[in-house]
Amino acid sequence: MSVSTPWTIEGKNHERNFKSVMFLGLLWLSLFVAFLFLLILLVTTAMNGMGRYDLRLFTAYNNTTPADAGARAAILGSLFVVTVTALMAIPMGIAAAVYLEEFADRTKWYNNFIELNIQNLAAVPAIIYGMLTLGVLTIMGLKNKNVVIGGSIALALLILPVVILTTREALRAVPQEIRDGSLALGATEVQTVTKQTLPAAIPGIATGTILAVSRAIGEAAPLLLLGALVFITYDPNGLLAGFTTMPIQIFGWTSAAQAEFKQIAAAMSMVLLIILLGMNGIAIYIRNKFAKRW
Amino acid sequence: MSEVTGSTNLREFSLASSSPRVGERAIRGTLFIAAAFSVLITVGIVWSLLVPAIEFFRQVSVMEFLTGTRWAPRFKPATFGVLPLIVGTLWTTGIALLVAVPFGLGSAVYLSEYASDKNRRRLKPIVELLAGIPTVVYGFFAIEFITRVVFKEWMGLTVGTFSVLSAGLVMGIMIIPTVASLSEDALSAVPLAMRQGSFALGANKMQTTLRVVFPAAFSGIAAAVVLGISRAIGETMIVALAAGNKPNISSNPLEGAQTMTGFIANAALGDSRVGSLEYDTLFAVGLLLFIITLLINFISIRLVRRYREAY
Amino acid sequence: MTSESQRLTRTMHLGGSARGETAYPIMELRNLDVYYGDFHAVRDVSLDIGANQITAFIGPSGCGKSTVLRCLNRTNDLVPSARVTGVIDYRGHDLYGPKVDPIEVRRRVGMVFQKPNPFPKSIFDNIAYGPRVTGMKLNKSETADLVEHALTKAGLWTEVKDKLDQSGFALSGGQQQRLCIARAIATSPDILLMDEPCASLDPIATSLIEDLMLELVSDYTVVIVTHNMQQAARVSSRTGFFSAKVDDAGQRYGHLVEIDQTTTIFTNPSDSRTEDYITGRFG
C-alpha cells in the first residue's frame, strides 16, 4: 500500500463536476427550447389573429373581402369529410390489426409481407395519397375530383396504417396470460379476442384512433391535389358535393394576395389548434389514466 | 341445476366439436381481407404513379430528368432536370435535421435518463403536443413570424417572402417530437442492469449515459433520425407556404427554393390539362419521391429490427 | 385378456383413490413423444392418470414435466412448431384423434397456471366467463348460484361474497390463485391440471391451496407439476419423476424415469436417479 495518498472515500463530487453540469444544462436547454418554440408559435399565432375572433369566422362563407370572410364551408367540410374518413378507416384498421396480432401465423410469408407493407405505408408522404385518390376516383367514374367522398378516401388511406399500428401496440400490451387463461377454459380464439383481448386493449385503441383522426383533421396536402382549394359558398350536402377543409382554407388565406387575409388565417389557425391540441390532450389523458399495471 | 362435480363413470361422450363454428372461420376470413387490403393500397399507389410517369418518360428521357440542372416544365422550351428540386429538398431537410436532432435527442436523453418519473409523465406529453400542430399552421408561422418578423424586422436580413432557412427551421421544430419520442423509447429500452453495471464501476451519470446507454440505444436512435429525415422529405405544406416555388440551386439559404413536394403542390394548384405532359410531370416527381421515401424507410426498418433483437 | 380385465389389472396398480375406491385410469399416455420442429424434446413417456387421485410430476427444470402436462389439455398446440406422436387415451378416446376439437378437450380438462392470471374483470365475471363462453345456457340466478358454488368449493366464498363486483386484481396472490381454481372448476371439468400452482405464493397461501387440492380430489382428477417435492409428498397419491438425458447426437431431452405410488417413490424408488433426486444428491 502506498504511503503517499491516504485512503479515503470522501473527495470531490464526481456527479457535480463541470462537464456533468454543462451536460445536464444542455439537455435541459433542449427541452426548454422545444417548449419555447411551442409557446412562441401559440402566442404569435394568437396575436396575429386578433381582430377576427368573432362569430362571423364561423358563420360566414369565404369572401373576396377579408373583413367579410368566414370559414363556415371549411368547418362543415372538415366535419363531414373526417366523419366519413373515420367510418371507413377505423373499423377496417382495427380489423386488420386484430388479424395481424391475434390470428396471423408469423411463419407464413404472406403475413410478414402484409406487415412490412403496412410499415411502409405509414411512412409514405401524405401528398402521394392524394395522387392515389385521383386514380381511384377516375376508376369510380368521377371526373370532378373535388368531392367529399374523394377527400374522405384520401384521408382514410392516409390514416389507415396509423390506426393499424397503434391498435397493434395496444393489443400487444395485453398480457399473454389473459389469453392463455381464456383458452384454457375452452373458449375459442374468436371468443378470447372479442371478450378478453379487445376489451382490455380499448384504452390504447381509443388513444390511437383519436390521434389518427386528429391527424386527418389537420392534413391538407392530399386534398390540394383533389382541388379542395376552391371557393365554396355553400354547405356541403352529400358525398359528391364540392368541399374544402379548415387546413386548406388556412392555406388559401395565407397565400392570398391581400395581407388582411393573414389575420383571418391566424384566427382560423387558433381554432384548429384548439381543436387538435384538445383532442391530443384527451388522447394522452386516456392513455395515462387507463395504463393498466398488470 | 347441474351440480359442479366431476363424473367417475365411463359415460359416453365425444371430443368432436359441439357446434360447427362456422362463425369463427367467417370472422377470421373477414379480418384477413381487412389486413390484405393494405397490399392493395400499395399496388394502387404504384399503379397510380407509374401510369402517368411512364407517359412522361416517353417524352422526356430518364437521363435528362435525373441529371438535368434546369427545372422549367412550363417554359417554352421546357426543361425537365429534377436536380434543382432535389437540391431544394436537401436544403430544407438538412436544415430541419440541424434543428431536430440536437433538440430532439437532447430532450430524449433528459426525459429518459435525468427526469424523475413524475416529471417525465408531465413533460413528455408537452413534447408530443408539438406533433399535434397541423403543418399548415407551421407554414403560417414560418412565413409570418420567422421570415417577416425575425429575419426581416429583428435581424434586418435581406430576405424576400420565401426562404429556405425559415422553412427548414420550422420543419425542424415540427420533427422534434418524432426524433424525441422514438429516441426516448430506444433509450428507455436499454435494460437498467446495464446502467447499474456502469455505476457499480464508479462511473457518474454523464459517463454512463454517453458511453453505455447511448451506444446501446444507437440503432433505435438512428431509426428515429431516419424517420425524421423521411418526414422532412415528404413534408408539403410548410415548404409550399414558406420556401416558395422557384427552383433554385444557389447556396444562400435566405433565398427561396422549390422542393419536390413544393412542386407537386404548386402543380396541383395550377391548371394543367389532365393527360398533358405538364400534368404527367407531377406524377414523375411523385414517383421519385415515393421511391426515395421507400428506400429510406427500408433502412429505418432494418435499423429497428437490429435494435429490437439486441435484448 | 379382455379390455375390462386389463383395466382392472391397472386399477390395482394405481392403488386407491381419495375416496378409498380402487382408482381406474382416466387418462393413459402410451409412448408419448413431443417435438418442437425437429427438436425431439420429450421421449417415450408412458403413464396412467388415476381417476379422483392427485398425480404429481416432479423433477428438475427442463425435463418435460410442463410440456407433458400441456399436452393433456392440448394447450401445447398453441406453440406453432409443436408436434406429438404416441397416444393419449382419455376415457377411451384418442386425445389427438382426427375428429377431436381441442376446444372441447379444454372444456373437460381445465388448467391452473403458475402465476395467477385473473381476467381484468370483476370476480363474478371471472367465474361466470367460462360457463358463458362454453355454451352453458344459464339465466341470471343460475349463473349466480354457479359462481357461489365454485367460489365455495375453492374456499374463497366467505372472503369475497361481499365484493363480487370488485376487480379480480384486488385480491392477494393466494386469493387470486384460488379465484383461478374456482374459475377452472366452474365449467365442471373432468380433470384439473395444475402447473406449479404455488410457485409464486407464500407458505401460508401454499398450504391453503394444498388443503384445497385434497378436498377437490373427491370430485375431480388432479395432475400437478411441482418443483417442490415435499409438496408432492404431502398431497399426491402417485408421483412421476422426470429427468433429462443426452442422446448419442448430444441432444438433451426429457423423459419419465419412473412413476409409482408416492410412498414408494419417496421411500423405496426403483431407479437410482430417482433416489439421487429425492435425497438431494442432484437437481
Residue pair A283/B170 in contact by the 8 Å Cβ criterion? no
Provide the 8-state DSSP code for B130: G
User: Is C162 touching B (CB cutoff 8 A)?
Assistant: no
Q: Per the CB < 8 Å rule, is B38 touching A160?
A: yes
Mean pLDDT of all residues in A99-120: 90
The yes-or-no verdict on residue B311 having pLDDT over 70 is: no
Against chain C, the chains showing at least 3 CB pairs within 8 Å are: A, B
Q: How many CA atoms lie within 13 A of B226 on its CB side?
A: 20
User: What's the confidence (pLDDT) of residue C135?
Assistant: 82
Residue B100 identity (one-letter amino acid): A
Q: Which residue has the higher pLDDT, C117 or C280?
A: C117
Å from C123 to nearest chain A CA? 14
Q: Where are the beta strands (DSSP E) in chain A?
A: none
Report chain C residues whose CB lies below 8 A from the CB of B4.
Answer: 146, 149-150, 153, 185-186, 188, 219
User: Is A105 touching C (CB cutoff 8 A)?
Assistant: yes
Å from A176 to nearest chain B CA? 19
Residue pair C189/C110 in contact by the 8 Å Cβ criterion? yes
The yes-or-no verdict on residue A7 having pLDDT over 80 is: no
Residue C124 identity (one-letter amino acid): F
Which residues, in sequence order, are CB contacts of A227 under 8 Å at separation 6+?
Answer: A145, A146, B268
User: What's the confidence (pLDDT) of residue B7?
Assistant: 38
User: Each residue of C69-93: pLDDT tens digit?
Assistant: 999 999 988 888 899 999 999 998 9
Nearest to A107 among C80, C104, C120 (CB): C80
Dihedrals phi, psi of C30, to nearest 5 degrees: -125, 115
Residue pair C274/C257 in contact by the 8 Å Cβ criterion? yes
Residue pair B235/A125 in contact by the 8 Å Cβ criterion? yes
Find residue C88's DSSP bridge partners: C29
What's the helix, strand, coil split of chain C in %, to 5?
40, 25, 35
User: What's the confidence (pLDDT) of residue B106?
Assistant: 94
The yes-or-no verdict on residue B6 having pLDDT over 80 is: no
Sole residue written with cell 436544403: B91
Q: Per the CB < 8 Å rule, is B45 touching A124?
A: yes
In angstroms, the CA C116 to CA C173 distance is 7
Q: Per the CB < 8 Å rule, is A177 touching C110?
A: no
The yes-or-no verdict on residue B171 having pLDDT over 80 is: yes
The yes-or-no verdict on residue A4 having pLDDT over 70 is: no
Nearest to B127 among A34, A164, A225 (CB): A34
User: Each residue of C35-56: pLDDT tens digit?
Assistant: 998 899 999 999 999 999 999 9
Q: How confident is the model at residue B1 (pLDDT cuts 50, 70, 90)?
A: very low
Q: How confident is the model at residue A55 (pLDDT cuts 50, 70, 90)?
A: confident
Q: Residues, chain C, total?
A: 283
When mean pLDDT is compared across A134-143, B265-274, C103-112, the lowest value belongs to: B265-274
Provide the 8-state DSSP code for C29: E
User: What's the confidence (pLDDT) of residue A11?
Assistant: 75
User: Each residue of B224-252: pLDDT tens digit?
Assistant: 999 899 999 999 999 999 998 888 888 88
Dihedrals phi, psi of C98, to nearest 5 degrees: -65, -35
When mean pLDDT is compared across A5-9, A166-170, B198-202, C98-102, the lowest value belongs to: A5-9
In angstroms, the CA B290 to CA B94 distance is 19
Closest CA to B27 of A118, A209, A194, A109: A194
C-alpha cell at A245: 377543409
The yes-or-no verdict on residue A114 having pLDDT over 70 is: yes
- Chain C, 224 to 283: residues with Cβ < 8 Å from chain B are none
Q: How confident is the model at residue C8 (pLDDT cuts 50, 70, 90)?
A: low
Closest CA to B97 of B215, B231, B288: B231
Å from A157 to nearest chain B CA? 8
Which residues, in sequence order, are CB contacts of B202 under 8 Å at separation 6+?
Answer: A14
Which among A185, A190, A193, A293 is the top mutation candidate for probing chain C, defined by the most C β-carbons within 10 Å of its own β-carbon? A185
C-alpha cell at B22: 362456422
User: Each residue of A81-107: pLDDT tens digit?
Assistant: 999 999 999 999 999 999 999 998 888
Q: Per the CB < 8 Å rule, is A186 touching C113?
A: no
Provide the 8-state DSSP code for C122: B
Interface of B with C (CB under 8 A): 1-2, 4-8, 10, 13-19
Q: How confident is the model at residue A271 (pLDDT cuts 50, 70, 90)?
A: very high
Q: Per the CB < 8 Å rule, is A265 touching B301?
A: no
Average pLDDT of the residues of chain A: 90
User: Is B123 touching A (CB cutoff 8 A)?
Assistant: yes
Q: Per the CB < 8 Å rule, is A180 touching C187?
A: no
C-alpha distances (whole Å) from B24 to each of B19, B35, B84, B190 are 11, 17, 56, 41
Which residues, in sequence order, are CB contacts of B134 under 8 Å at separation 6+?
Answer: A217, A218, A219, A220, A247, A272, A273, A276, B237
Q: Where are the beta strands (DSSP E) in C119-277?
A: 191-195, 221-225, 238-246, 252-261
Long-range contacts of A55-63 (CB under 8 A, 24+ apart): A57/A264, A57/A267, A57/A268, A57/A271, A61/A232, A61/A233, A61/A234, A62/A231, A62/A232, A62/A233, A62/A249, A62/A252
In angstroms, the CA C154 to CA C177 distance is 10
For the whole model, what pTM was predicted? 0.87
Nearest to A181 among C73, C104, C117 (CB): C117
In angstroms, the CA A53 to CA A49 distance is 7
Against chain B, the chains showing at least 3 CB pairs within 8 Å are: A, C
Mean pLDDT of all residues in A115-125: 91
The yes-or-no verdict on residue B10 having pLDDT over 50 is: no
In angstroms, the CA B290 to CA C94 distance is 56
User: Is B141 touching A (CB cutoff 8 A)?
Assistant: yes
Residue pair A82/A68 in contact by the 8 Å Cβ criterion? no
Termini Cα distance of chain A: 53
Report chain C residues whose CB lies below 8 A from the CB of A199.
Answer: 120
User: Each residue of A144-193: pLDDT tens digit?
Assistant: 889 999 999 999 999 999 999 999 999 999 999 999 999 999 999 999 99
User: What's the confidence (pLDDT) of residue A154?
Assistant: 96
Average pLDDT of the residues of chain B: 87
Å from A43 to nearest chain B CA? 11
Helix (H) or strand (E) holding C96: none
Residue B303 identity (one-letter amino acid): L
Q: How many CA atoms lie within 13 A of C192 on its CB side?
A: 32
Which residues, in sequence order, are CB contacts of C152 under 8 Å at separation 6+?
Answer: none
